């Protein structure tokens, strides 16, 4: 009997059996090949998956909250400002809030008549108010508003609201068709010059105001006058 051959055969059989055992062990559910993967897949919440969700949720919450907070803080302020502006613009100067006076203008047409005057409106009400609109002009016969004679007005400049603080002033310039010549003078149009002791100047919503020159009477031709819109800037 050949013992060498028998021993080699037994060794080969043992090696084959050991290899088969290792292969079978690697395929078991609890083996090293599948253990870590299975453990990671079955890991409870609070591991790596839970950590990646928390920052995203916090960012989304912050993003949703920030615009709402800004809008809430800004909207009331903007609304209050708009309301205050509208209220200030709506508070017109009544007839009793204004005091009017008149003096001869420095810049006026050539001639011997009045030529041009500046009418000044002062806020005497003690609180802010607004004047707006197109001035009207009439000559008061014998100084009486009841016998006044309306003049044809040509307006220059754009009409806008003028806000007057207490004691604040606004102005309008009146330019007439000038009287020419000496003595009683004459009108280029051929009509006779007219004189008025006082004028009645009106502003819509702010009443009519009778004004007179400090010295003398107003002389003009053709009952026509060019009037600037009421302005916070004093004309010359």
* Domain residue limits, the chain: 3-89, 95-228
- pLDDT single digits (tens) 11-45: 333 334 443 333 344 434 444 444 444 344 444 44
Judged by DSSP in three states, 25 sits in helix
Identify the residue with better confidence: 1 or 203.
203
- Where are the strands (E) in 47-128, listed by range? 98-104, 116-123
The whole-number pLDDT of residue 57 equals 44
Top-confidence residue, 3 or 127: 127
Write out the two tokens for 15.
């090696």
Query: Residues 86-115: pLDDT tens digits?
Result: 444 548 999 999 999 999 999 999 999 999
For the chain, the distance separating the N- and C-terminal CA atoms, rounded to the nearest angstrom, is: 147
CATH 3.10.20 assigned to domain 95-228? The reply is no
Asked if pLDDT for residue 231 goes beyond 70, the answer is yes
C-alpha to C-alpha distance for 174 and 116, rounded to whole angstroms: 5
Quick check: 229 pLDDT over 80? yes
Q: Which pLDDT score is estimated for 142?
A: 76
The β-bridge relationship of strands 148-150 and 208-211 is unpaired
Asked if 169 and 125 count as a contact pair (C-beta separation under 8 A), the reply is no
């Amino acid at each position: 009997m050949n013992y060498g051959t028998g021993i080699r055969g037994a060794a080969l059989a043992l090696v084959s059996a050991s290899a088969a055992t290792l292969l079978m062990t690697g395929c078991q559910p609890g083996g090293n090949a599948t253990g870590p993967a299975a453990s990671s897949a079955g890991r409870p919440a609070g591991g790596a998956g839970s950590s990646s969700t928390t920052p995203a949720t916090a960012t989304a919450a912050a993003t949703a909250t920030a615009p709402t907070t800004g809008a809430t803080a800004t909207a009331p302020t903007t609304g209050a400002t708009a309301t205050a502006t509208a209220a200030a613009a709506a508070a017109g100067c009544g007839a009793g809030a204004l005091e009017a006076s008149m003096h001869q203008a420095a810049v006026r047409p050539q001639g011997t008549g009045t030529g041009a005057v500046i009418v000044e409106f002062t806020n005497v009400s003690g609180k802010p108010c607004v004047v707006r609109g197109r001035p009207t002009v009439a000559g008061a016969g014998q100084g009486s508003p009841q016998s006044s004679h309306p003049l044809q007005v040509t307006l220059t400049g754009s009409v806008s609201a003028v806000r007057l603080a207490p004691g604040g002033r606004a102005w309008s310039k009146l330019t007439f068709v000038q009287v020419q010549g000496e003595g009683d003078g004459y009108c280029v149009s051929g009509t006779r010059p007219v004189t008025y002791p006082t004028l009645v100047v009106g502003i819509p919503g702010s009443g009519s105001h009778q004004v007179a020159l400090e010295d003398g009477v107003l002389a003009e031709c053709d009952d026509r006058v060019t009037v600037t819109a009421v302005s916070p800037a004093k004309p010359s």
